[in-house]
């Protein structure tokens, strides 16, 4: 990070030095995980649900922290503040002030993390780039990402999540993005908004209102396209599309008009689920073959391409870089080919009705001559539409021809019930979904937990089958995918390592042009996953404030 003295930290946070803290001591990194403290790292002590970071203040100082950012008295050098989150925001804003880097912010109901990862590849072709590990996209994760900014950083890529109105506006006040990207408006967390998807659009549009130079909008999503009217008069609007003609010219008068400038033509998806298309931009056409799984990745690639083109990367290099890109973040359409010949698709990081639909369509495309298994958990934060959404999901599995549905947990009972009813109506049910009597037809079964889901799949799956695992993050179904991979064994050709994010340096690692990894841990997307199985990056200093606490949605 850009070094700060403790005196500067104190001024930025409105705090005061205590217990002998040296105002001239330099801070070269910031973390909320006491295990990640290195010499020069400021440890922010946050009170978690079960563990209080202040209890690890002495350990942080022993590891080389110049001070602890604390909200109560500790016996070691500290900066005492009233609110640690406000203090983090103040520090991040100070670093933002001191950096000439272009800040690119991405929001949307789905695809934020993939788009962010593609931007890391693309902008890294132009200059030193910082991007968040995992999905660090809330009032903890976003400041930690900004605080990794180095003196030579050219670009900072940020995710912005929201669970209500004003959340993105608050993040924008810290980050002051020059480029804003809005991918889509779906049903994720619709239960948090009184006026449903209209409320989500209002919240996501706060980024369109805040970006100072350029706003990138999805012309294929009417709720996103309408955000062009909310853009600052001095900002340019660039849209991306898979449908409309490309190459229109903006009118002479502001505000910036809705002009499609980046498009995909001739979209195809191969038997491995990877999309290819022709990138159309600025009068040029270049072929792209994505290394990411799912047709829905085309929109994410177009959004990232629009940003890179705007910031100076030639279209030919954009296309080549997109083709070379591979998954960086775990549990997002992560494909593993096992020794038993069963393919596992771990998309368990999160789920909403739109992403479930996209994942199921991808599953069908991957099925080939085998059978498609869908291991599905609940979708969280859908409010009054939750029952209908889960019913629709169950019926969709039947409409698409999913061979085996395994619904996991109480929240997924309705998925199974709707699928079972649809199967009975269609007359294609072949048994209870657990024993050999189900092999000849299609089936749905409900199980109580992850262990039962693993057992159900292991009992039925055979060579050539493909298993999708997906649910909202809170249900923890990534363990199902991991246990299935262990049960079926590794592939002899190590295909799983090539197709998954697990083997790659994540945002904070050596693949970054960022240099210091002190905010989030070296090469691990969030430090260690000790004891949680999650990309938490929070650790012992915060206890159970893991995953969504630092990685909002």
Strand-pair partners of 176? none
Q: Does 112 count as an annotated binding residue? A: yes
DSSP codes of every residue in 132-173: -STT--STTHHHHHHTT--TT--EEEEE---SSTTHHHHHHH
**Residue 165, burial from CB neighbour count under 10 angstroms (0-12, 13-18, 19+):** middle
- Measure the CA–CA gap between 405 and 375, rounded to whole angstroms: 6
Reported in sequence order, the residue ranges of 404-484 that DSSP labels E, i.e. its strands, are: 404-408, 443-447, 466-470
Helices 315-324, 112-124: inter-axial angle, 10-degree rounding = 120
Q: Does 114 count as an annotated binding residue? A: yes
Q: Does 113 count as an annotated binding residue? A: yes
Q: Are 266 and 298 in contact (CB under 8 A)?
A: no
Q: For tokens 């994505």, what's the residue?
A: 290
Q: Are 342 and 371 in contact (CB under 8 A)?
A: no
> Dihedral (C-alpha) 156, 199, 187, 135: value to the nearest 10 degrees?
20
Q: Are 474 and 348 in contact (CB under 8 A)?
A: no
CA dist 306 → 83, 300, 311, 397 (Å): 38, 10, 9, 34
H-state helical runs in 382-412: 386-400
Q: Does 110 count as an annotated binding residue? A: yes
> Dihedral (C-alpha) 236, 167, 478, 440: value to the nearest 10 degrees?
-70
H-state helical runs in 461-507: 478-488, 495-499
444 CB neighbour count, 10 Å cutoff: 28
- Measure the CA–CA gap between 146 and 158, rounded to whole angstroms: 8
How many degrees, rounded to 5, is the angle at CA 344 between CA 339 and CA 347? 155
Reported in sequence order, the residue ranges of 131-283 that DSSP labels E, i.e. its strands, are: 155-159, 179-182, 214-218, 236-241, 260-269, 274-281
- Measure the CA–CA gap between 103 and 146, rounded to whole angstroms: 9
Q: Does 368 count as an annotated binding residue? A: no
189 secondary structure, DSSP code: T
Q: Are 134 and 535 in contact (CB under 8 A)?
A: yes
DSSP codes of every residue in 520-551: T-TTSSSS--TTT-S----GGGTTT--GGGTS
Residue 322 in 3-state DSSP? helix
Binding-site residues from annotation for ATP: 108-114
Binding residue ranges: 108-114
């Amino acid at each position: 990070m850009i070094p700060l003295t403790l005196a500067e930290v104190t001024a930025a946070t409105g705090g005061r030095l205590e217990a002998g803290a040296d105002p001239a001591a330099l801070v070269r990194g910031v973390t909320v995980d006491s295990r990640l403290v290195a010499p020069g790292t400021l440890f922010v002590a946050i009170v978690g649900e079960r563990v209080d970071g202040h209890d690890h203040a002495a350990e942080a100082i022993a590891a080389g922290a110049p001070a602890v950012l604390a909200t109560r008295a500790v016996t070691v050098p500290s900066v005492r503040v009233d609110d640690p989150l406000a203090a983090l925001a103040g520090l991040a804003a100070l670093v933002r002030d001191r950096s000439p880097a272009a800040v690119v912010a991405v929001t949307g109901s789905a695809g934020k993390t993939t788009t962010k990862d593609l931007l890391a590849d693309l902008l890294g072709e132009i200059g030193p780039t910082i991007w968040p590990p995992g999905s660090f996209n809330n009032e903890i994760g976003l400041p930690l990402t900004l605080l990794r900014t180095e003196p030579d950083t050219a670009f900072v890529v940020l995710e912005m999540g929201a669970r209500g109105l004003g959340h993105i506006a608050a993040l924008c006040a810290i980050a002051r993005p020059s480029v804003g990207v809005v991918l889509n408006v779906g049903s994720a967390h619709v239960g948090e908004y009184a006026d449903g998807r209209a409320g989500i659009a209002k919240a996501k549009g706060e980024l369109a209102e805040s970006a100072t130079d350029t706003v990138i909008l999805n012309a294929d999503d009417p709720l996103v396209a309408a955000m062009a009217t909310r853009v600052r008069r001095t900002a340019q609007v660039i849209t991306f599309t898979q449908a409309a003609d490309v190459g229109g010219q903006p009118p002479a008068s502001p505000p910036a008009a809705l002009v499609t400038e980046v498009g995909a033509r001739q979209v195809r998806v191969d038997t491995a689920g990877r999309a290819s298309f022709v990138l159309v931009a600025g009068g040029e056409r270049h072929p792209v073959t994505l290394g990411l799984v799912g047709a829905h990745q085309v929109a994410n690639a177009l959004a990232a391409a629009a940003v890179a083109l705007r910031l100076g990367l030639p279209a030919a290099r954009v296309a080549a870089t997109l083709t070379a890109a591979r998954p960086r973040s775990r549990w997002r359409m992560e494909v593993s080919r096992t020794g038993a010949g069963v393919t596992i698709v771990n998309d368990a990081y999160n789920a909403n009705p739109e992403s479930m639909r996209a994942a199921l369509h991808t599953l069908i495309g991957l099925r080939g001559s085998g059978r498609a298994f869908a291991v599905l958990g609940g979708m969280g934060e859908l409010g009054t539409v939750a029952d209908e959404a889960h019913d629709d999901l169950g019926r969709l599995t039947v409409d698409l021809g999913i061979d085996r549905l395994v619904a996991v947990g109480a929240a997924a009972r309705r998925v199974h019930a709707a699928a079972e009813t649809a199967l009975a109506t269609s007359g294609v049910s072949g048994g209870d979904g657990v024993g050999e009597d189900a092999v000849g037809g299609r089936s749905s079964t409900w199980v109580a937990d992850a262990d039962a889901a693993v057992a159900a799949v292991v009992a039925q799956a055979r060579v050539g089958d493909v298993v999708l695992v997906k649910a909202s993050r809170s249900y923890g179904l990534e363990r199902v995918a991991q246990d299935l991979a262990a049960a079926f064994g590794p592939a002899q050709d190590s295909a799983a390592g090539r197709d998954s994010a697990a083997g790659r340096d994540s945002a904070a690692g050596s693949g970054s042009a960022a240099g210091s990894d002190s905010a989030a841990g070296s090469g691990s997307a969030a430090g260690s996953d000790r004891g949680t199985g999650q990309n938490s990056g929070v650790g012992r200093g915060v206890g159970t404030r893991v995953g969504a606490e630092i990685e909002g949605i």
